[in-house]
Structure 1
Amino acid sequence: MKRVLAGVATAVAALTLAACGSSDPLAEDSGDGGGGGGSAESIAIGSADFPESQLLAEIYAQALEGKDVQVSREFNLGSREKYFDGLKDGSIDLIPEYTGVLLQFLNKEAPEVESEEVYEALQGVLPDNLTVLDKADAEDKDAVVVTQETAQRWNLKSIEDLVPHCGEAIFGGPTEIQQRPDGLPGLKETYGCTFKSFKALQPGAITTKALLDGTVQAADIFTTDAAIEANDLVVLEDPKNNFAAQNVVPLVAKDKASDTVKETLNAISAKLDTEALLDLNARLNAPDKPDYADVAEEWLAEIGV
């Protein structure tokens, strides 16, 4: 009996030592993602308060979730003036941005207007904790837009043509365009255009309606807005380059720019040109008003990301 009990004790001790000498496989999986098949990566994605930004943010979110990155969505945060502090303090980690307006936000005196020059200059003025990934060919610029009726009445093709009539026109756009370098200050400095008055409008359908019903005679509308083609609106040419190149670019916290994040978002940027962006906005603006998530999922499947 003593020999039996001694054998049992030895076996129990061996099992105990074996258990102590091994690690919990679940703990490995929930660690840094190396070797366990799981991923500890997480990222908070934000968007501005207009449909295209929210759609791009959703595309980023779904693509990263497909790579096992944990995503939290902080959409519809408002204008750059509102959400940028969140990027600096770490409450959001990633947001779709536009090179030209972001550069001018960070350096109001930036002279660059061409795509590559803007992108290079932008990288030199970002806060230390932020970086930009590859820019897309897709470009969405602010533009001065009028109706066909107004264009014909005043014989308008460019912003220069509008100058003699600026004093007669009410201009509509987001509140922040009153201070932005390429907004009302830029139009005044570059073209000598001082409007009769300004009306603050939410980007999107509200601005389009105000333009169509005559509440405003000219408005700030993004060049990829599906409402331009749908309503036969006229985008006035900008021969003096008041509006710099505005390529879509992911703006991300450096400590969240892992290889997975970089490779995934760069692959999206490589597929996103202006034609694709116009198409995405048209889909989002379809009569059945599809959800952002559905449009994003469909497009990601099409491009294989």
Structure 2
Amino acid sequence: MYRVAALALTTALTLTACGGGGGDDNPLTGDGGGGESIVVGSANFPENQLLAEIYAQALEDKGLKVTRKFDIGAREVYYDQVVKGGIGVFPEYNGALLSVAVDKDSTATSTEEINAELREKLPKSVEILDSAAAEDKDSVSVTAETAAEYDLKTLADLKPVAGDMTLGAGSEFKTRVQGGVGLKKVYGVEFGKFQPLDAGAQTTLVKLLKDDKVQAANLYTTDPAIVADKLVVLEDPKNLFSSQNVTPLVHRDAVNDKAKQALNAVSAELTTEDLLEMMKKLVNDKEDADTVAEDWLTAAGLLS
């Protein structure tokens, strides 16, 4: 989430590879449909890559062979690959999975409601496993100066002033229900300008926000910059942004009971505080993601 050039956990994979001939360099190919190796995928931002690395190491610790296919792209790109079996395991965020990929008209907001709908509505080839307590939600955030100038505390407070503001966000945010569409429908908020960036450009978004090049930004709530730069996350009293628990999405034929147990064990231990602490190490301290993942798994008692 925090750099355009997302932290590399494996050999860098880019979307341009998707048009290739299906070799090992293509992040959307691999034996995820029940072969010897479980393909673990990730989206194109560092937190998701970190979660994928945690999943991969947890599976490997149980003697399972893993192929890493990280940095694939946005949900609009990777979701179909999980459904088709090109990817076997993917760290998802349950609320966004439901509203973006499964049912754009869903009004579910709680973890329980969201997971019940996912279990009912997901294609038969895939399923969700246990959700973690860890959550990373979308937000609309502003600087402390902007919040004070316009008396901004909630998303609703943006309505009379957003027309004079530029919103910075990943390009897909503009057309998502939990994004620009929902801001207008739920809160009557419509920004004067929209500055699209890559989904992994959180560091760039924070800089644009601090430099007043954008006046509001779609930041993820585990971004360490929110605390470090004293940014203000606007409250969401109408729950536009639903629960976003970290949840393994798996292709049924790709995982056996041993794999499911390993992934559920990760979910049982992972908290939002853990995620924020790991992201500080990853982003601020520049630690390698595989080391951060291994240290957390060890501390959680999940490595033998």
**Superposition TM-score, scaled by structure 1 size:** 0.85
Distance 2:293 2:175 in 1: 33
Q: Does the Cα contact within 8 Å between 1:51 and 1:204 map onto a contact in 2?
A: no
What is the match of residue 278 of structure 1?
276
Distance 1:150 1:60 in 2: 39
Larger Rg: 1
Task: Give the stretch that moved more between structures: 183-192 or 116-125.
Answer: 116-125
Where does 1:193-212 land on structure 2 (aligned, <5 Å)?
193-202=189-198, 203-212=201-210
Higher relative contact order (CA 8 A, sep 6+): 2
| Overall identity of the aligned pairs, in % | 48
Distance 1:225 1:126 in 2: 29
Is 1:83 the counterpart of 2:78? The answer is: yes
Amino acid at match of 1:294: T
| Secondary structure of 2:267 counterpart | helix
TM-superposition CA deviations, 1:138-175 (whole Å, max 9, x none): 11110001011111111111111111111011001011
**Offset of residue 282 of structure 1:** 1.2
Amino acid at match of 2:40: I
Is 1:109 the counterpart of 2:105? The answer is: yes
What is the match of residue 180 of structure 1?
176
**Offset of residue 41 of structure 1:** 4.3
Q: Pairwise CA RMSD of aligned residues? A: 1.1
What is the match of residue 35 of structure 1?
none
What is the match of residue 223 of structure 1?
221
TM-superposition CA deviations, 1:181-220 (whole Å, max 9, x none): 1110000000000100100123321111111111110011
Amino acid at match of 1:302: A
Give the helix-richer structure, 1 or 2.
1
**Offset of residue 90 of structure 1:** 1.6
Amino acid at match of 2:128: V
Distance 1:172 1:53 in 2: 20
Is 1:66 the counterpart of 2:64? The answer is: no
**Offset of residue 286 of structure 1:** 2.6
**Offset of residue 281 of structure 1:** 1.0
**Superposition TM-score, scaled by structure 2 size:** 0.85
**Offset of residue 88 of structure 1:** 2.0
**Offset of residue 79 of structure 1:** 0.4
TM-superposition CA deviations, 1:92-146 (whole Å, max 9, x none): 1111000111111210110111121111111111111100000001111100010
Amino acid at match of 1:54: Q
Distance 1:154 1:174 in 2: 24
1:302 aligns with one of 277, 280, 299: 299
What is the match of residue 123 of structure 1?
119
What is the match of residue 37 of structure 1?
none
What is the match of residue 46 of structure 1?
41
2:163 aligns with one of 137, 160, 167: 167
- Extract structure 1 runs of 4+ deviating beyond 4 A: none
Q: Does the Cα contact within 8 Å between 2:88 and 2:255 map onto a contact in 1?
A: no
Amino acid at match of 2:115: Y
